Each structure stands twice: as structure tokens, then as C-alpha cells.
């Protein structure tokens, strides 16, 4: 492209916050990685998780007047009958100690979990299911399993097996990076 003759240069472009045609989505150059298979996979994983989680939240609320986070705490405690420290519980659920504390207090108020002082560290508490909590969890878990089966009933068993293997590999890769 030839250089314009002196005096024929285009006027300088003033910096502005006003959008121009060059700012339209169609005019912008794609970002590196935009539209890549890995980004599409990530977005689809998140979308599937959000759709399923939304359905589960609604069902827990409508059918049992409880929440998915409460169920998650009960499920984590069901896996460790002797109980978990609050920090181990928050690590298992991948949430903050503050979030777990609020949920545990709600469950304690309903008589579903009990807290006792950790014999190895008097500053810490061990939380476990009460007998009523175990009964409630068993009821919730049965419903949860049925809801998941209904959500995924149209996925052929061989695809389920393939997804379980692939997602297990992905999880291992991601955990290795942390």
C-alpha cells in the first residue's frame, strides 16, 4: 500500500469509549482459542452441569423442602460414618469453611447432624450424621438416584460408560495440574 503524500494523511483516530463499527462482534478478530474444540467441550460440560443442577435444586426444594448443598453435606458425611472435621468437609465439597458452617448449623437445627470436639484437636469439631440424618439421607439419596436415572435415561449405556471413562481421565488431568 503506497504511503500518502504529505498533507493527505488520514486524520488521527481519537480515543473514545463510544462503540464504532470496528467494535462490532463481526468486525473483531477472534480471540486465540475462541471456537476451539477444548473451549466448546468446556462450555458444554458447564451447560450440562448447570441444567442438571437446576433440575436437582428444584426437585429437592419442591419434594423435600431442602437444598442441594444440604444434600451434598449429608452425602459427604454418609461416606465417612465416623464423621469429618469441618475443614475436611469443606475440602470434600470444594467450598469455603464459612459455607459449610452455615449449612451444618441448619442441619444441626433439624437434628440431622451432630458435632463433637475433635479428640486430637480441641479447637476443631467433628461432624457426623445422627440416626435421623442417616434416615433422611437414605430417603434423599434414593430420590436423587431416581432423578439422575430419569434425566439420563435416553443416553445409551455404552455412551454412559464412555463418558464415565473420559470424564475420569479429564478429572485426573485437572487434579494433576493443581
Whose grid coordinates read 464412555?
A: 162
Max intra-chain CA distance, the chain: 89
pTM beyond 0.85: no
What's the pLDDT score for residue 1?
A: 47
What's the pLDDT score for residue 119?
A: 86
Cell of 107: 442441619
> How far is the C-alpha of 39 from the C-alpha of 30, rounded, in Å?
13
Q: Count, in order, helices (H) and strands (E) of the chain.
A: 6, 3
Cell of 164: 464415565
How is residue 118 annotated by DSSP? Answer: E
How is residue 122 annotated by DSSP? Answer: E
What's the pLDDT score for residue 68?
A: 95
pLDDT in tens, 128-171: 999 999 999 999 999 999 999 999 999 999 999 999 999 999 99
Instruction: Give residues with Cβ within 8 angstroms of 155, minimum separation 6.
Output: 163
With beta carbons less than 8 A apart as the criterion, state whether 73 and 93 touch. Answer: yes
What's the pLDDT score for residue 98?
A: 84
With beta carbons less than 8 A apart as the criterion, state whether 84 and 116 touch. Answer: no
Amino acid at each position: 500500500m503506497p504511503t500518502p503524500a504529505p498533507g493527505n494523511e488520514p486524520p488521527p483516530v481519537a480515543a473514545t469509549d463510544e462503540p464504532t463499527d470496528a467494535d462490532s462482534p463481526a468486525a473483531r478478530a477472534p480471540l486465540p482459542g475462541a471456537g476451539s474444540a477444548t473451549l466448546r467441550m468446556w462450555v458444554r460440560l458447564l451447560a450440562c452441569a448447570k441444567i442438571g443442577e437446576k433440575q436437582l435444586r428444584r426437585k429437592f426444594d419442591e419434594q423435600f423442602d431442602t437444598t442441594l448443598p444440604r444434600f451434598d453435606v449429608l452425602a459427604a458425611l454418609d461416606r465417612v460414618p465416623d464423621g469429618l472435621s469441618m475443614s475436611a468437609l469443606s475440602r470434600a465439597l470444594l467450598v469455603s469453611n464459612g459455607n459449610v458452617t452455615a449449612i451444618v448449623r441448619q442441619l444441626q437445627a433439624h437434628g440431622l447432624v451432630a458435632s463433637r470436639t475433635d479428640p486430637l484437636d480441641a479447637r476443631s469439631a467433628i461432624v457426623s450424621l445422627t440416626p435421623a440424618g442417616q434416615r433422611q439421607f437414605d430417603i434423599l439419596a434414593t430420590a436423587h438416584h431416581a432423578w439422575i436415572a430419569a434425566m439420563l435415561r435416553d443416553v445409551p449405556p455404552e455412551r454412559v460408560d464412555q463418558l464415565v471413562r473420559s470424564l475420569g481421565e479429564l478429572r485426573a488431568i485437572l487434579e494433576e495440574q493443581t
